[in-house]
Amino acid sequence: MKKIVSLLLFFVVTFGFKARADEGMWLLPLIEKLNIGTMTEMGLKLSAEDIYSINQASLKDAIAIFDGGCTAEIVSPEGLMLTNHHCGYDRIQEHSSLDHDYLKDGFWAMSRDEELPNPGLSVIFLVSIKDVTERMLANVDNTMGEEERYDILSAERSKILEEAMEGNGHMAEVESFYGGNYFYLLEYDVYNDVRLVGAPPSSIGKFGSDTDNWEWPRHTGDFSVFRVYMSPDGKPAEYSEDNVPLKSKYWLPVSIKELNQDDFAMILGYPGFTQRYYTSYEVDEIMKIVNPNRIKIRGIKQDVWMADMMADQKVNIQYAAKYSNSSNYWKNAIGQNEQLERLNVMEKKIAIEDQFRAWIREDPEREERYGEALDLIKNSIEARADYENSYQYLSECIGGCEIFSLQRYGRRYMNAIETDAVDMLEDIKATAVEAYKDYSPSTDRKSMKAMLKLYREDIDSRFWPDFYTEIVDKKFKGDIDRYVDYIFDKSVFSSEERALAFMAKPSAKILEKDPAYIFALSINNIAQEIYDELVTSDDDLARGQRLWIAALREMMPDKTQYPDANFTMRLSYGSIKEYDPKDAVTYKYYTTLQGVIDKYIPGDYEFDLPRRLIDLNNKREFGRYGSDKGYMPVNFLTINDITGGNSGSPILNGNGELIGLAFDGNWEAMSGDFMFEPDLQRTIAVDIRYVLWIMDIYSGAGHLVNEMTIVE
C-alpha cells in the first residue's frame, strides 16, 4: 500500500481537491503538501518546517496536551505555560480552601518557591508523527471479520509501540484515522512535575459562567498559568524539590500588536473528537438519546448541587469543579440539538446518503466494495438504541452517585491486603483522603435520591439494578428516600472519618455487608449485562463506518479530506472575522473591558466583578496592552475550525506569534462537530493583551510577563 501522503496527493491531483481556508483540522506532516500555499497567500510568513520539524526546534515543540483534555503552550525559555482558566480549574480548586480561596480571590506566585505542585497533572509534548499505514494494514483485508481484523491490528500495533519506545523514554501511540483506513505512530515526552503559577479570580476567569458559556459576545478572561519542571539532568521527572524549570526547546513569542478584521490566524492544538463523517442514523441517535439524556439528568443533578453551593461556601469550593465540568457539556448538548435542528443537518446527511446510493448503483464494483456500509451502520444503531439509552442513564444517574465511587477505595484497600500489595496501602489511603476533601455527604445524599428516582421512572424495569426489587421494594416498600438514608447512615464510606477508621481496621466481613458496597455490586452486574449487549453491535458498526468513510472520500473528491479529530495535534487556519448570526444583526470580531463592566451585577455569582477591575477601567489604566483605538480588548473571533480539546490552544499570527488563547465555540454553530458551517462557525479567544494586562497591571505579576518575548 502506498504511503498516506502519496494517496492524498493522488486525490488532490486527480480529483481537483480544493482546501477551504476556514475548514479542517490538518495533520502537521501534510501541511507542506496540502496547505502551505493557501496559508502563505492568507498571510503566513513561516515555512512548513518552522511549524513542524523533527530535525530542529519548531512551533509544535511549544504545544502540549494539558491534564489529559486541553491544550497549553510554552511562552518562556523557562517552561512558563499558558492554558485556559477552565482547563486549570480543577487544579485551582484542589488548592483552594476556606482560608485560601483561590477560585474566589485568584492566585499568583511571586517567586518560584511559591509555585504550587499538582500531583497527577502531566503535560505531554509531541516528538514526532510517522505514517505506519502500510505496515498496519499489510495483513488485513475487507473479506475478514472485524474480530480477526482487530486481533491482527492489535498485534501489529504492539510490535510498533515496542520498537518505538525501546530505550528512549518516550510514550507512544498508534492512532487510527479515517475510520481505521489509515494509521500514524505518534511519540511523546511526558512531564509530570507541573506547578500552578497564577490564575485570575473566577469573576474574571469564569466571568459569565453558564449564561455566557458557548455564547458571543463574550467577556471572559479564560486563562491560567503553570510552569513545567524537569530533573536537574534535563529529563522528564516526577515532582521533586530538586527539579528545575524546563529548558524549553521552543517558546512562543507574544505579540501585543493591534488585531484587525481579516488578519491571518492559525491554531495548533489537540482537538478532541469530531464526527463530520457521521451518517443520519448516528446523528439521529445523538439528537434523540444522547443529548436529551444529558440535558435532563445533569440539569436535575446540577440544581441539587447549586442549591447547596449557594448555601455553603465550603460546598461551593468542593463542588465548583464538578459543577463546571458537568454544566459545560450540559449546555453544549442544549445548543447542539438546537442547531442540528435549525440548520437541517439531518436533511443534509440524508442527501449525502442518497447521493451515495445513486453513486454505487452506477458501478457493480463500487456496490461490491461499499454496498453494505449504510445498512451496517443503520442496523447497528437501531439494534443498540435501548441499551445505549439505559447505559447512559446508568452512567450519569447511578454511576454518578459519589458514594458509588468512594466505596471503591475500600475495595482496593482490601484487595491490596489480600494480594500482599502492602506497598500500595498508603497511596490508596492518601487518594481517598484527597477525594473526601471535595465531598459533601449531605449533598450527595440529596443528589442520590433524585438520581435513583429518575432512573426508575425513565428506564424499563429489565434494565434496573436488582437493588430496586431486592432491597428498595422488599425492605423499604419502594421508598427510595429511606433506602438512600439507610446507605448514608450505615455505610463506612459515607464520610472520611468512617472510611479511614475502616482502613485502620479493615475487614472483608464489614465490607461485604456494607450497604454502599452491595449497592455498587448491583450496579456493576447490570452494567456488565448492558455493556455485553452493546458490544455485539460494535463490529458491524466499525466495519460500516470504515467502508462509509472510504466511500465518501472516493465519491466526493472536491470535499475537504481531513480526518476527524481524535485528540492528536492538528493545525487549523483562517482569519479574524465578524459574523451575522441572524437577520439584521452583525457581531463585531472583538469585545472590550467596557463590555465586561456593562454586564456587571453586584453579588451575582456569574456577573460580579472585583472592584479593582472596575476602577482600573474607569481610570483607563491599560498600560501598553490597550488597543491603539482606545479600548482594552478582551475577546475576539476567528473562523478557525476547532472543537473540545482545543481549549487553551494558541492562536498565532502570520509570524507565529501568540495573539490569543482559544476557549470556546459559538452558539449558532454548535452542530459543528457533525457538519462545518462556514458562514457561522467561529472560534472564541481571549486576547493575549487582556491576559498580560490582568497578569501585570491588575495582579502585579509583571515578573511573569518579563519572562516572555514580547513583540510590540
| Contact (Cβ atoms closer than 8 angstroms) between residue 46 and residue 586 | no
Contact (CB, 8 A) for 692 and 625 = yes
Over residues 593-610, the pLDDT tens digits come to 999 999 999 999 999 999
What per-residue confidence (pLDDT) applies to 9? Answer: 34
> What number of other Cβ atoms are within 10 A of residue 53's Cβ?
17
Mean pLDDT across the stretch 618-630? 96
DSSP codes joined into one string, 209-243: HHHHTT-SS------EEEEEEE-TTSS-----TT-
pLDDT band, residue 22 (cuts 50/70/90)? low
**pLDDT score at 557:** 83
Closest by CA to 610, choosing from 598, 599, 618, 602, is 602
Residue range 78-100, pLDDT digits in tens: 999 999 999 999 999 999 999 99
Q: What pLDDT is attached to residue 559?
A: 72
Domain limits, the chain: 49-253, 401-536
Residue 21 has pLDDT above 60, yes or no: no
Amino acid at position 646, single letter: N
Does 163 have pLDDT greater than 90? Answer: yes
pLDDT grade for 556, boundaries at 50, 70 and 90: confident
| Tens-digit pLDDT profile for residues 490-513 | 999 999 999 999 999 999 999 999
Q: How confident is the model at residue 561 (pLDDT cuts 50, 70, 90)?
A: confident
Taking only Cα atoms into account, the Rg of the chain, rounded to an integer number of angstroms, comes to: 26
Q: Do residues 688 and 659 lie in contact, with contact meaning Cβ atoms separated by under 8 Å? A: yes
358, exposed or middle or buried, with CB in 10 Å at 0-12, 13-18, 19+? exposed
Are 575 and 264 in contact by the 8 Å Cβ rule? The answer is: yes
List the single range of 535-544, 655-664, 690-699 with lowest mean pLDDT. 535-544
Q: What is the mean pLDDT of the chain?
A: 95
Residue 560 — pLDDT band, cuts 50, 70, 90?
A: low
Integer distance in angstroms from the first to the last C-alpha of the chain? 50
Residues marked active site are found at 86, 222, 647
* pLDDT over 70, % of the chain: 97
Mean pLDDT, rounded, for 277-285:
98
pLDDT in tens, 336-359: 999 999 999 999 999 999 999 999
Average pLDDT over residues 367-390: 97
